[in-house]
């Protein structure tokens, strides 16, 4: 079964491929020209659906002979920090500004937590996964709870991982082995639910 990922985030592609070894997983940019998708909804779920629908529609138009067997999967995710009332949440990708990269976002979040006068805060990651096929649309969620630090340690994972310690651990996702995140993450939890849907097609 061909699973086409509606994402241009290389960290997500790497993790989803590692979690879906039984499927042929292809980022949509390997099939058609990458295009801008405006994520203007106010929930993870709706933004994931916007991405999956946009890529499904583009594949249907540009690869009409292949789209019938394609499952499009999108991931919309982010980190929510308690001391910041849940920010950045759905704005995680652009927290450091319109053209911010992962490092800009990470250090902006560290500074904002520091400004609250604390060294750490409870936080959680959310992942909404949307699936769009010719048979319909589906969505599932997963969460990972832990602590957001005011420093970045390690270079594993991606995005905010160097400042996040998962519940039950004393090291950041930047330091921990990839296998730990693979077992615990918001993305792996959402994907295990997504697989139940996919396997029942």
Which residues participate in catalysis according to the annotation? 76
State which of residues 58, 133, 160, 191 lies at the interface with ligand ITT (CB under 6 A).
160
Query: What track of x and - describes contact with ligand ITT for positions 99 through 138 (by CB under 6 A)?
Result: ---x--x-------------------x-------------
Which three-class secondary structure state does DSSP give residue 167? coil
Q: Between 138 and 166, whose beta carbon lies closer to ligand ITT?
A: 166
Name the one residue in this structure whose structure tokens are 């499952």: 71
Q: Are 150 and 67 in contact (CB under 8 A)?
A: no
Look up residue 170 and give its two tokens. 């004393």
CA quadruple 189, 181, 199, 74: dihedral positive or negative? positive
Q: Does 77 bind ligand ITT (CB under 6 A)?
A: yes
Q: Does 147 bind ligand ITT (CB under 6 A)?
A: no
Q: Does 159 bind ligand ITT (CB under 6 A)?
A: yes
Q: Give the shortest CB-117-to-ligand ITT separation in angstroms.
A: 25
Look up residue 55 and give its two tokens. 């890529």
CA dihedral 146→147→153→156, nearest 10 degrees, is 20
Q: Does 81 bind ligand ITT (CB under 6 A)?
A: no
* Calpha distance 110→15 (Å, rounded): 24
State which of residues 19, 55, 140, 187 lies at the interface with ligand ITT (CB under 6 A).
187
Q: Does 55 bind ligand ITT (CB under 6 A)?
A: no
Which three-class secondary structure state does DSSP give residue 133? strand
Q: Where along the sequence are the contacts to ligand ITT (CB under 6 A)?
A: 7-9, 12, 39, 51, 75-78, 92-93, 102, 105, 125, 157-161, 185, 187
């Amino acid at each position: 079964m061909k699973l086409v990922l509606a994402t241009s985030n290389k960290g997500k592609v790497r993790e989803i491929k590692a979690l879906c070894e039984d499927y042929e997983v292809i980022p949509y940019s390997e099939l058609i020209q990458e295009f801008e998708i405006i994520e203007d909804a106010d929930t993870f779920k709706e933004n994931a659906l916007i991405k999956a629908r946009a890529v499904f529609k583009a594949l249907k138009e540009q690869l009409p002979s292949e789209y019938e067997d394609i499952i499009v999967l999108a991931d919309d995710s982010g980190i929510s920090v308690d001391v910041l009332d849940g920010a950045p949440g759905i704005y995680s990708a652009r927290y450091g500004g319109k053209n911010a990269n992962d490092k800009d976002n990470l250090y902006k979040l560290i500074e904002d937590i520091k400004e609250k006068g604390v060294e750490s805060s409870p936080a959680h990651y959310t992942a909404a996964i949307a699936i769009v096929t010719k048979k319909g649309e589906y969505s599932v969620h997963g969460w990972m709870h832990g602590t957001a630090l005011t420093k970045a340690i390690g270079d594993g994972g991606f995005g905010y991982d160097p400042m996040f310690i998962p519940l039950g651990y004393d090291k950041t996702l930047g330091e921990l082995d990839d296998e730990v995140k693979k077992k615990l993450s918001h993305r792996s939890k959402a994907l295990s639910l997504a697989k139940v849907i996919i396997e029942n097609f």
